[in-house]
Amino acid sequence: MELYVVQFLTGLANAASLFLVASGLSLIFGVTRIVNFAHGAFYMLGAYIAYSLTIRWQTPLGFWLALLVAATAVAVVGALLEILLLRRIYHAPELLQLLATFGVTLIVEDAVRLLWGPEDLVGPRAAGLSGAVSVLGRPMPVYDFVLILLGPAVLGLLWLLLHRSRWGLLVRAATQDRDMVSALGVNQKWLFTGVFALGVFLAAFGGGLQIPRDAVSHFMDLSIITEVFVVVVIGGLGSIGGAFLAAVIVSELNAFGILILPSISLVLMFLIMAAVLVLRPWGLLGKPLSRARSMATREAAAWKPLSPAGRSAALAATIGALCLPFMLGDYGVGVASEVMIAIIFAISLQFLMSVGGLDSFGHAAALGLGAYGAALSVQHFGVSMEAAIVIGPLVSAAMAVVAGWFCVRLSNIYFAMLTLAYAQIVWSVAFQWVDVTGGDNGIVGVWPSDWASSPAAFYWLTLAAAVAVVALVRHLTFSPFGYALRALRDSPTRSATIGISRQTIQHIAFVISAFLAGLAGVLFAFLKGSVFPDTLSIASSVDGLIMVLLGGFGTVSGSVIGAIVYKVSSIWLMSNTDFPRLILGSLIALLVVAFPQGIVGTLQIWMMRSRLFAGRPQEGTARLAETGGLS
Amino acid sequence: MTALLEVRNLSKSYQGVKAVQGVSLQVAPGELLAMIGPNGAGKSSCFNMLSGQIRPDSGRIHINGSETTGLSPERIFRLGVGRTFQVAETCLSMTVRENVQLALQSWSTGLLTLRAFTGRLDRNFRPQADALLALIGLDDEADRSCRELPYGDIKRLELAIALAGDPKLLLMDEPAAGMAMKERILLMQLTSRIARERQLAVLFTEHDMDIVFEHADRVIVLNRGQLIAEGSPQSVRADPAVQAVYLGSGALYAQGH
């Protein structure tokens, strides 16, 4: 009994930091509609700066001052980021902002490594609060009690700020309808900057709060961001009270999950999140989101099947790719195989996102299930590579039949979050069901058949698969089914009145996409000879998003270019520079600003612009204005 | 006269607000029935119940002999109902022709057959789509992206899409809203001509009374969710209850003096 009480109190203390970070994310999302992936990075940065300050100022006042100074400093960084980077891309497709903030996360990760070194740092205890009190005979740190009180205190302060100040009124108004707020003459720019800075402040402060409880490390950002997404979704996007409630629920779930159901403790959190999304998509205390009216369009031009010139170019590129093994060494051919697999993964996601308008944040599930499906059937049933290539995608598709049934009942950001939960559930199972999946040790010994065992032969296999998948996806895009899928994205209302049933069509697209991503997963498993839970991680889903967005998700197959550019540069940077994330992150941020419609999408706009000066002014202008190319 | 659309006692409330209360109406084949009324009278709610976007609380809807109360928009489409919207709903990322081709494909084969996956949409139903576009005078714009069209043309395109399902009943919510005067008249003339030629039942709403009195065979008037008058354009125009709704302030003005 005593154990449970103490565990409950510890859970409450954990909730404080989680709530601060989550409320910041929720505020930012509510007003700017940015899913700020960098929120975890700001949390980590806050912790590192606060660490450096607290070891210098070891007085009771000094500790809290250090936290405030650190959080303010990070908030300034956040505001600068908003002004310099995000402001330029508010009119770009919404997901691009997610990509930009992911770039920032990479930059911060390496910056922290550069400034503080790679080791975990153990900070001092909070001066004056380092003792423990006895609760039912068990010791509880005094600091935990401070945290238990701090959470509600911050909640109260935020409530006062939002409900008793003019600025707060504007923030609440913008959360409901930001277009209306700007129509009323409120300077939206500074409102956005202010909200962003406040949100970042809360994240950084939350990071500082963790110093006396936990070591400061490089993994803080990704571990917190996952939990924070869960909290924000359960509580309701944009709801501060919801963030508090959900932070408590999630923290208690973690505290007791480890005690009562250790083997499924990881899955539990995501199962709850999935259940909330299915039963009450807008969260416990949230309200259904009003759709932003200024929806950025996705296409630079009406999609057309390849022209004869385009076909010749694609053929030439394929022939060029066929010749690669004669020009590259074994290492280069290995990289090329990885690029081909990335193309399959990216194009499968692009089909879902560009054609279907279904932005999946959990496409890693489809990739990883293919990989695990193949690896497990090789390990347990000794099947051949040829059989595994069929089995893997089928496993992925079969799981997508089940998960997709739930996912397609939601739309927009809620769909994205449910797919994220799906991927995390699968990841947790792979990670914790050690008997079957090997857990963190993965499954090894997944080697290709003899005929495909040389690097060149395996590369040709991946190339053939990539060409087939890209051709198939292009074909499907222009098939009646593809048009029906696109019609649902363009206008659900019109689609229904011409007899297109949304859930059925989207469900099928979800399964097709999972099947193709599963194929990428199988090939990846045989390329590496092994499978690890990493394949299913958020980072892997984000990889897919980056490739699609970088290529241009207003295009049919721009992600082919996106995959090549991203994979080649990230592999090269990882092996040739000391701070690859710093460079890659900066590169992503630059590309996002320079190519707001993705590389291929932006090139298409440039081509149209040149056509505009070549004599079809009216048409070109109309198109450009629509696609935001002139703004 | 057998009615193609038969509505009995239709009601719908939103959180206690009675948007539509006990509305009954019939439309015969070849007949144009105008539904008029001030803003908030319940016209759009009525339309959305007829085409399946929202479920009525009570009442019965029969279309072409079968009961459609509470059916989904997809099912109602299959029973021969075409619909246009107050704010045009088309697929902006597609060309004008593709918008019509998709509706034709959906009507003739559905979109879940094997051929829906193996075929190419832009090669299917081309002559039929061009015929429909010629009918509404958009044949010159067939290859343009829908996004580039002027709004008036998009409204006309909606009519072509609605006709693609070979409908028996057309539901047109403010078909001429947002169009220039000349275009409005042409669109309504075209609609009446098609309705008579193909014996379609047409139910439409419209704010422009000139259009209503010129083109409607019959008029029903809604106010605060209730049907307050029904009859020929002339009789409705002369109805004191209708005048009170439309000229309410005038009546008060007269009393005050």
Whether the per-residue pLDDT at A58 is higher than 80: the answer is: yes
Residues A240 and A23 sit within 8 Å (Cβ to Cβ): yes
Are A484 and B106 within 8 A, CB to CB? yes
Residue to mutate among B111, B112, B115, B126, with most A CBs inside 10 A, is B111
Non-local CB neighbours of B14 within 8 Å, separated by 6+ positions: none
Average pLDDT, stretch A7-35?
91
Are A501 and B74 within 8 A, CB to CB? yes
A500 touches chain B (CB under 8 A): yes
Within 8 A of B72 by CB-CB distance, chain A residues are: 496, 501
- Predicted confidence at residue A432, as pLDDT, reads 87
CATH 3.40.50.300 is the classification of domain B5-88+157-256? yes
Enter the DSSP assignment of A352: I
Structure tokens at A455: 């690097």
Nearest chain B residue to A489 by CA distance is B91
Average pLDDT, stretch B147-165?
92
Give the pTM: 0.89
The CATH number of whichever domain residue A476 belongs to comes to 1.10.3470.10
Range of the domain at A175: 16-218
Whether the per-residue pLDDT at A128 is higher than 80: the answer is: no
- Does residue A482 belong to any structural domain of this protein? yes
Structure tokens at A496: 């229904």
How far away is chain B from the Cα of A410, in angstroms, using its nearest Cα? 17
- Predicted confidence at residue A373, as pLDDT, reads 96
Burial zone of A613 (CB within 10 Å; 0-12 exposed, 13-18 middle, 19+ buried): exposed
Three-state DSSP class for residue B178:
coil
- Does residue A161 belong to any structural domain of this protein? yes
- Does residue A190 belong to any structural domain of this protein? yes
The span from the CA of B141 to the CA of B185, in Å, is 21
Are A483 and B92 within 8 A, CB to CB? no
- Predicted confidence at residue A544, as pLDDT, reads 94
β pairing state of B201-205 and B32-36:
parallel
Average pLDDT, stretch B50-63?
93
Residues A300-331 as b/e (b if ≥16 CB within 10 A, e otherwise) read bbbbeebeeeeeeebeeeeeebeebbeebeee
Burial zone of A614 (CB within 10 Å; 0-12 exposed, 13-18 middle, 19+ buried): exposed
The last residue of a domain, from among A172, A188, A218:
A218
Burial zone of A562 (CB within 10 Å; 0-12 exposed, 13-18 middle, 19+ buried): buried
Each residue's pLDDT tens digit, A72-108: 999 999 999 999 999 888 877 777 888 899 899 999 9
- Predicted confidence at residue A300, as pLDDT, reads 56
Average pLDDT, stretch B204-210?
87
Enter the DSSP assignment of A122: P
How far away is chain B from the Cα of A608, in angstroms, using its nearest Cα? 14
The last residue of a domain, from among A169, A184, A218:
A218
The full DSSP string for A305-316 is PPPHHHHHHHHH
Average pLDDT, stretch A196-223?
91
- Does residue A619 belong to any structural domain of this protein? no
The span from the CA of A130 to the CA of A122, in Å, is 14
* Sign of the CA dihedral running B41, B46, B47, B49: positive
Counting every residue written for chain B, the total comes to 257
Q: Which residue has the higher pLDDT, A283 or A478?
A: A478
- Predicted confidence at residue A626, as pLDDT, reads 41
Nearest of A333, A420, A369 to residue A522 by alpha carbon: A369
- The Cβ-side half-sphere exposure at A20, using a 13 Å CA radius, reads 30
Three-state DSSP class for residue A616:
coil
The span from the CA of B222 to the CA of B241, in Å, is 11
* Sign of the CA dihedral running A74, A241, A227, A522: negative
H or E element that contains B25? strand B17-27
The span from the CA of A247 to the CA of A545, in Å, is 27
Whether the per-residue pLDDT at A617 is higher than 60: the answer is: no
A481 touches chain B (CB under 8 A): yes
- Predicted confidence at residue A623, as pLDDT, reads 43
Nearest of A263, A172, A114, A42 to residue A579 by alpha carbon: A114
Residue to mutate among A497, A505, A515, A604, with most B CBs inside 10 A, is A497
Whether the per-residue pLDDT at A196 is higher than 90: the answer is: yes
Sequence letter at residue A392 = G
- Predicted confidence at residue A488, as pLDDT, reads 94
Longest dimension (CA), chain B: 75
- Does residue A9 belong to any structural domain of this protein? no
Within 8 A of A499 by CB-CB distance, chain B residues are: 74, 77-78, 106-107, 110-111, 165
Within 8 A of B115 by CB-CB distance, chain A residues are: 480
- Predicted confidence at residue A181, as pLDDT, reads 83
Q: Which residue has the higher pLDDT, B254 or A274?
A: A274
Residues A505 and A481 sit within 8 Å (Cβ to Cβ): yes
CB atoms within 10 A of CB A576: 9
Residues A417 and A506 sit within 8 Å (Cβ to Cβ): no
Angle, CA A132 vertex, CA A130 and CA A133 arms, to 5°: 145
Q: Which residue has the higher pLDDT, B30 or A1?
A: B30
Are B102 and A297 within 8 A, CB to CB? no
Are B145 and A301 within 8 A, CB to CB? yes
How far lies A51's CA from each of A40, A69, A119, A164, B181, in Å? 16, 11, 13, 34, 71
- Predicted confidence at residue A612, as pLDDT, reads 65
Which of A29-33, A167-171, A487-491 is predicted least confidently? A29-33
- Does residue A39 belong to any structural domain of this protein? yes
- Residue A14 sits at φ, ψ, to 5 deg, of -60, -35
Residues B107-136 as b/e (b if ≥16 CB within 10 A, e otherwise) read bebbbbeeebbebebbebbeebbbebbebb
Q: To the nearest whole number, what is the mean pLDDT of chain A? A: 88
Are A498 and B161 within 8 A, CB to CB? yes
Residues B174 and B125 sit within 8 Å (Cβ to Cβ): no
Are B77 and A305 within 8 A, CB to CB? no
The share of chain A scoring above pLDDT 90, in percent, equals 56
Each residue's pLDDT tens digit, B107-150: 999 999 999 999 999 999 999 999 999 999 999 999 999 988 89
Nearest chain B residue to A507 by CA distance is B112
How far away is chain B from the Cα of A406, in angstroms, using its nearest Cα? 20
Look at chain A and report how many structural domains it folds into. 2
Residues A349 and A363 sit within 8 Å (Cβ to Cβ): yes
β pairing state of B32-36 and B218-223:
parallel
Within 8 A of A508 by CB-CB distance, chain B residues are: 112
Within 8 A of A488 by CB-CB distance, chain B residues are: none
- Predicted confidence at residue A510, as pLDDT, reads 98
* Sign of the CA dihedral running A313, A316, A321, A324: negative
- Does residue A440 belong to any structural domain of this protein? yes
The span from the CA of A617 to the CA of A601, in Å, is 20
A487 touches chain B (CB under 8 A): yes
Nearest chain B residue to A554 by CA distance is B93
Residues A455 and A330 sit within 8 Å (Cβ to Cβ): yes
Within 8 A of B145 by CB-CB distance, chain A residues are: 301-302, 623
- Predicted confidence at residue A248, as pLDDT, reads 95
A433 touches chain B (CB under 8 A): no
Q: Across the strands, what pairs with B229?
A: B221
The last residue of a domain, from among A186, A218, A250:
A218
How far away is chain B from the Cα of A475, in angstroms, using its nearest Cα? 8
Each residue's pLDDT tens digit, A503-526: 999 999 999 999 999 999 999 999
Within 8 A of A481 by CB-CB distance, chain B residues are: 111-112, 116-117
Are A499 and B93 within 8 A, CB to CB? no
Each residue's pLDDT tens digit, A297-348: 556 567 888 889 999 999 999 999 999 999 999 999 999 999 999 999 999 9
Rounded to the nearest 10 degrees, how much is the dihedral formed by the CA atoms of A191, A196, A201, A207?
160
Model ipTM?
0.93
Q: Sorting pLDDT into bands at 50, 70 and 90, what band is B90?
A: very high
Query: Which residue among B89, B119, B162 sits closest to A480, beta carbon to beta carbon?
Result: B119
A297 touches chain B (CB under 8 A): yes
β pairing state of B201-205 and B81-84:
unpaired
Counting every residue written for chain A, the total comes to 631
Integer-rounded Cα Rg, in Å, for chain B is 19
Average pLDDT, stretch A229-238?
89
How far lies A252's CA from each of A210, A609, B80, in Å? 17, 56, 55
Are B77 and A497 within 8 A, CB to CB? yes
Average pLDDT, stretch A248-271?
85
Residues A154-166 as b/e (b if ≥16 CB within 10 A, e otherwise) read bbeebeeebeeee
